[in-house]
Structure formats: C-alpha cells, structure tokens
C-alpha cells in the first residue's frame, strides 16, 4: 500500500509566466516538443499552454501563460489624485498605492487561478531591468492566492531549444536590486511628472483659457529630449552664414580631370585668398612633391546593440525607432532573432556563431556570402567595447523568408546582414595620395582602388566607391596645372532626425537603450515637437515656451544633467551600491526645491508663450480663432487632436497641447494652417494641395472642410482636417 501511494504521488505543478503571449507560446512549444494544449484564460489575449515535463528531476505538469507588459501601476491615493483639491507641492510626499488597472484584471485573475494549485512559479519575463520588475509584479499577484509558492527566475536571451532548456535547468532568484531600481524610477516619474504637469497646466489654462485647455505634460526624461530638439532649432535660427573662399587645383591627364584640394581648406578673408591665387598663377608650374600608396581598409561593423540598431533602422530603413523595436520584439518572441534590448556589442565566446551563419546558407540573396564565411575559416566577429553582462549583440537565430515574416522582413534582413558583415572580413583597397606644390601652396588629390569589397558584398547599407586617379610620379612638373578660387558660405546644422536624437540621448545618459524610442514618441504624441517633410524634428511654440521659461527661471531642466544623474543612480541601485530609499530622498529633495522656486515664477511661462505668438503676428485672439478653426469634426469620436503631424513642410513651429485626460471642450490647433488661406494655399500633411469637402453628419451637415486629396484607398493618405472659415 505504501509503495502504491508513492507510485501514485501527484505530479508537481509548475506555473510559468512570460511577458507576452508570443513568448509564452514559444517557450511552451519548446518545452513540450510542440505537444502543448492551448486553453483560454480570463484574458482573450493571454492563453494558457499545458503539458508535462520534468523539473529538477521530478515529473511535473506545466502551465505557461503571460502578462502584457507591466501588470500594475501606481497612483496617488484620494484625495491627492484630484487636481483641484490639493496643494500641488504635497505630491512630493503624498501616499501612493500600487494596483492592477481595470483592463488588466482578467490577466491578474488568470494568474491567481493558476497559482492556487501550483507548487512552483517560474518567471520568464524579459531579462532586463523592466522585465525583472514585471516579474516581481507577477510574484506579488500569485502569492496572494498561494503564499506557499516556490518562486524562481529563468534567464535567457533567445527563445531557442538550447536557451530555453538551459534557462529551465539553471533557474535563479529575482534580482531585488533591479526591481527596486524600477520602483524608484516609477515613483519619481509619478511624483515629479504630476507636480510639474499640474503646475504648468493649471497656470496656462488660467492665463490662456482661449487656447490651452489640454494637459501640458512634463516628464523628467521627455523634457531633456525636447531640450535637444529646441537647442538645435535655436542654433539654426541664430546661425549667421559667413562667406569663405578657397583655392582649387585642376589638372587634365589623359582626358581625365583631376581635382586637387587646397591644404589650407578655406579662409574667411577674400583678399588673402586672392593673394595666394595670384602667387599660384604667377608661378604657373606645379611640382609633384609626394606620391604615396598605402593599403586602405574599411572596417566591418561591430556587434549590433540596441542603440545602433535603432539608428540604423531610422537612417537606412526610414522607420521610427518605436516601430523598429516593435518589429524586433515580435521577431524575438517568434524565435527568429536574439533579445533586441542589449547594451552589448561583444559576442561572448560560448555562442556558436558558425551555427548561426550556417542557417543562412540557404538564402537566395546572402546564402553564398554566408557559405563563403564558413569556407574562409568560419565566423570572425569584430567586437566593440560595450557589454551589459546580460545579453549578446542582436543576431539571427534561424532562417526565414520574406513571405514568412511579411512587414517585419526589413528588420530581420537588417539584423542578418549586419551579423554576417560583423563576422566576415573588412573591405580592403589601395589608396593613392598625390601632393602638388605651387608657389609653396600644397594641393592634394586622392584615388582609391577597391581590391576586396569584403563585408560590403552583403552589407547593402554602406557603399565604398572607387575613385580613379591617373599615374603621377614624384618630381614631375605640371605646366598645365590651373588654380581657381571658389566662394561659399558656412551652413547651419540640420534639424535633428530620430537617429541624431537617439545618439544624443545615449551620449548624455537620458533614458536607457530600452526607453529611448518611448521618450521620443512621448514628445511627438504631446506634440511638443513635430516632423517636417524630411522627418526632422521641429519644436512647437509650447515646447519652445516651456524650455525658455524654465531657463529664464534659472533651472536648466531641458539640459540632460538632472536626468543623467538619476539614471546613473538607478544603475548603482542595480549593483547594490546604493539603496532605493537614499536615491528617492535625494531626488525628491532636489526636484521639490526646484518646483517651489518655479511655482513662485510660473508667470514667466505664459508671458513667454504670448511672446512667441506675438513674434509670429498671431496674438492670443488670432491663436484662439485658429484653434477653433482647426477643431476636428465631432464625428471623430475617440481621436485626439487634429490628426497626424508627420510630413508638415512649414518651418514655423506649431503650437501644441497634450489632449486633456479630463473632458475638454476645444481641440488642439496648429497655426501653420491659417484660417484665411485659399484652397490653393492650403496643403495637407502630404505637402500637396488639400481638397474641400462637405460634412454630412447631423451636427455639421453642409459645413465645408479641408482634407487630403488622395484617394481614400491610398495607404499614404494622411489624416489632415481643418474647417473652411
């Protein structure tokens, strides 16, 4: 009887929770050898996958489910969550609580249902700081219904057979330091953001009620991000072109025109350059003083980290960083690429890179190049200098086709081509440099012969063009060498594009590789910035006024120093060097001091905003009329604002306001669209003349409005709208 009882002992029950349903499905598929059974959970988006497997040498019944990112959020307890009832400065100490928002209650209930009968809980969320915190939220939810749960953490960087089984067999504990770092950041963002948001919003709504009735949001990461945009915009606006002059050498050899660059480059004194020109022309003969030939290499890229990936996607694929990361995360959860949020550009020695290359041999476009890598001795990665000791560089895990991946193909292709380029060989060539002397002035010509394109065969995102240079010999005299003078003007820098902005954020420590795209999207959503036709950032009047106001108050809050200091302290919390409470107290003390002083000087904000309106000749009344004129039609329902701001060709900054989270009566407006424009002058966001249409809704029947003139089935059609005055 005892033996029979032992034999029939109930199997261990293991609950696994991933960060997204795709990841849960992939993990369950691997651990079940494709034999898991799918069940419905309380949330229709988060399924449950059941199968049997062994865990720590015991037979176990597994249930794998997921959350959808963060399960919980924090907010102030009543009455501090009511704008009108509390003194704003109390938000720096007001009590807060953590709760599951209504839309995530079904997920929370699934966790509670599944954990009641479980013996073990294994967290399979993404292995970064944010994923660790999400894991802690899952644990808190599950322990409510089953305090006896034994909790573990699985560590992995890819959803492949080897990685998933390795993670299961080497489970650890959650890293409480990383959990604390995110909790610290979340609380600071709530308190600081709420305080300054209420201060700005209530002041502007009170002083500019005709214009501002939306939430004028503040974020300690978004604000310095906005600051970079404003700083570049002002540098361009204040730029004064300066004329310069330079000499250019010309020589024709074998019917080929060779151009020689002046060693002094350019000078800003025309008379001095004319003097050098006269001397060269008086001399008339050039002497070849040096001919140098040397090997030239173009280095292949290093391993792909998140920041470089985002910049490449923006520059080469013309995608937003947000969309690029969304596609990469989808490919990761489907097992096509490794974890895309990494600060590492060094491949660890235990990764079988040749196996990754081998899986690409069958591809029609780059299969031959992959095979060539293997034939030349195998993968030889060029490593960078950064590592987060957590995840390897982004790399492909298995072969895929364009038909299989659809819209995510370009991201997969970028990852594969970058990886193959990284593990192949540098491009090599021979560079020839010829120096000629005329009246003691040196002129230089360069030529390049590409001998081996190397990684460039597969890396279509870069080019290296050969440059022909005829043969010259040292000591040769050139009687037909001519010198001319060119004139030009210095140019202002360009407005920032998204890749530029990500690079600045990374350099100055604003946010992390996992949050750069999110912060940029925030200032776009709040319309503190917009994009021009070249997809470069243009600050709005309100964005400019906010930055100028705090600068005039004496607080350089648009500079990266404050947030960068916090990010460095969060990193120290992760390593255990400093506690969460110490950082909270220090940061809140600093920001509360700034807040109290800003509160005394807040009138500066509305004064500067009015100043911008006056500079544009609008004034408050005209701006208010423009706001009403560009109000979206009532039939737009849940749409916020006046449509997409992309593709706006005007260089005038738009006025912009974040739509209020409370009921509002007026929508945002954009003074770029003047109400007295004729139909021929009114362009939509595509940059083409808008068409006039007539509303047919009950409330607005007969009223005319401007809209994009493209066919309604055209996927490039924008959402432009403005009433005809």
339 tagged catalytic: yes
Using a 10 angstrom Cβ sphere, with 0-12 exposed, 13-18 middle and 19 or more buried, the burial of residue 431 is middle
Using a 10 angstrom Cβ sphere, with 0-12 exposed, 13-18 middle and 19 or more buried, the burial of residue 202 is middle
Q: CA-to-CA distance for 81 and 64, rounded, in angstroms?
A: 37
In the set 218, 339, 550, 612, the catalytic residue is 339
Instruction: List, in sequence order, every beta strand (DSSP E) within 9-129.
Output: 12-18, 37-39, 48-55, 58-66, 73-76, 96-99, 120-124
CB 18 within 8 A of CB 125: yes
As given in the structure block, the two tokens for residue 239 are 């730029």
Phi-psi region of 535 (alpha: psi -120 to 50; beta: other; left: phi over 0): left
CB 357 within 8 A of CB 341: no
Q: CA-to-CA distance for 454 and 286, rounded, in angstroms?
A: 38
As given in the structure block, the two tokens for residue 467 are 């440059």
Distance of CA 538 to the CA centre of its chain: 17
Q: CA-to-CA distance for 549 and 218, rounded, in angstroms?
A: 13
DSSP secondary structure letters along 543-554: HHHHHHHHHHHT
CB 216 within 8 A of CB 204: yes
Q: Nearest to residue 132, comparing CAs of 204, 70, 217?
A: 70
CB 138 within 8 A of CB 153: no
- Phi and psi at 326, nearest 5°, equal -60, -40
Q: Which residue has the tokens 């959803």?
A: 159
Residues in Cβ contact with 542 at an 8 Å cutoff, skipping those fewer than 6 apart: 216, 527, 528, 609, 655, 656, 657
Q: In what order do the strands lie in the sheet with 477-478?
A: 477-478, 286-298, 427-438, 441-452, 256-262, 243-253, 482-489
- Phi and psi at 477, nearest 5°, equal -100, 130
Active site amino acids:
339
């Amino acid at each position: 009887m005892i033996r029979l009882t032992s034999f029939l002992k109930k199997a261990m029950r293991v609950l696994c929770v991933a960060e997204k349903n795709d990841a849960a499905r992939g993990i369950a598929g691997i651990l079940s050898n494709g034999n898991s059974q799918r069940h419905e959970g309380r949330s229709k988006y988060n399924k449950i996958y059941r199968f049997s497997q062994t865990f720590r040498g015991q037979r176990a019944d597994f249930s794998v489910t997921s959350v959808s990112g963060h399960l919980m959020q924090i907010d102030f307890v009543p009455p501090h969550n009511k704008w009108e009832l509390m003194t704003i400065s109390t938000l720096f100490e007001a009590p807060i609580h953590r709760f599951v928002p209504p839309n995530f209650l079904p997920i929370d209930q699934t966790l509670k249902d599944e954990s009641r009968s479980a013996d073990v809980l294994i967290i399979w969320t993404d292995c970064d700081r944010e994923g660790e915190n999400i894991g802690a939220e899952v644990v808190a939810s599950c322990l409510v219904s089953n305090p006896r749960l034994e909790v573990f953490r699985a560590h992995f960087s890819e959803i492949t057979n080897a990685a998933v089984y390795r993670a299961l067999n080497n489970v650890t504990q959650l890293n409480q330091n990383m959990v604390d770092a995110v909790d610290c950041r979340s609380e600071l963002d709530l308190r600081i953001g709420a305080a300054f948001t209420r201060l700005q919003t209530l002041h502007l709504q009170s002083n500019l009620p005709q214009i501002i009735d939306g939430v004028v949001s503040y974020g300690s990461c978004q604000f310095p991000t906005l600051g970079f945009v404003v700083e570049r915009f002002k540098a361009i606006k204040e730029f004064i072109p300066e004329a310069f002059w330079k000499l250019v050498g010309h020589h024709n050899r074998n019917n080929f025109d060779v151009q020689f660059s002046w060693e002094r480059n350019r000078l800003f004194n025309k008379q001095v350059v004319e003097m050098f020109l006269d001397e060269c022309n008086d001399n008339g003969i050039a002497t070849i003083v040096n001919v140098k030939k040397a090997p030239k290499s173009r280095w292949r890229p290093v391993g792909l980290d998140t920041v470089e990936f985002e910049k490449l996607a923006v520059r080469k694929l013309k995608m937003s960083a947000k969309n690029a990361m969304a596609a990469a995360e989808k490919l990761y959860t489907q097992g096509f690429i490794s974890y895309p949020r990494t600060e590492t550009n060094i491949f660890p020695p235990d990764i079988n890179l040749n196996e990754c290359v081998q899986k690409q041999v069958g591809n029609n476009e780059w299969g031959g190049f992959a095979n060539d890598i293997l034939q030349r001795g195998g993968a030889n990665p060029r490593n960078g200098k950064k590592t987060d000791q957590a995840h390897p560089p982004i790399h492909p895990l298995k072969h895929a086709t364009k038909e299989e991946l659809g819209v995510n193909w370009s991201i997969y292709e970028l990852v594969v081509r970058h990886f193959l380029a990284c593990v192949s060989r540098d491009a090599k060539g021979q560079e020839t440099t010829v120096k000629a002397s005329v009246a003691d002035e040196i002129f230089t010509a360069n030529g390049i012969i590409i001998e081996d394109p190397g990684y460039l065969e597969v890396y279509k995102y870069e080019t290296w063009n050969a440059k022909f240079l005829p043969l010259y010999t040292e000591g040769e005299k050139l009687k037909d060498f001519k010198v001319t003078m060119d004139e030009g003007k210095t140019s202002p820098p360009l407005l920032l594009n998204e890749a530029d902005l990500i690079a600045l954020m990374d350099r100055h420590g604003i946010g992390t590789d996992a949050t750069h795209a999110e912060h940029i999207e925030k200032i776009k959503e709040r319309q503190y910035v917009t994009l021009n036709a070249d997809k470069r950032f243009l600050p709005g009047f309100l964005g400019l006024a906010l930055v100028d106001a705090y600068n005039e108050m004496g607080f350089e809050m648009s500079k990266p120093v404050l947030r960068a200091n916090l990010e460095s302290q969060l990193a120290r919390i992760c390593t255990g060097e400093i506690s969460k409470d110490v950082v909270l107290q220090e940061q809140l003390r600093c920001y509360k001091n700034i807040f109290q002083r800003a509160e005394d000087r807040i009138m500066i904000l509305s004064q500067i905003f009015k100043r911008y309106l006056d500079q544009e000749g609008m004034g408050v009344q005209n701006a208010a009329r423009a706001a009403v004129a560009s109000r979206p039609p009532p039939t737009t329902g849940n749409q916020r604002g006046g449509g997409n701001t992309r593709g706006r060709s005007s260089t005038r900054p738009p006025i912009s306001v974040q739509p209020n989270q409370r009921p509002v009566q007026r929508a945002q407006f954009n003074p770029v669209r003047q109400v007295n424009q004729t139909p021929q002058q009114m362009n939509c966001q595509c940059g083409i003349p808008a068409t006039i249409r007539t509303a047919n809704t009950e409330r607005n029947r007969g009223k005319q409005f401007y809209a994009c003139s493209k066919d309604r089935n055209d996927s490039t059609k924008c959402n432009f709208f403005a009433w005809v005055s």
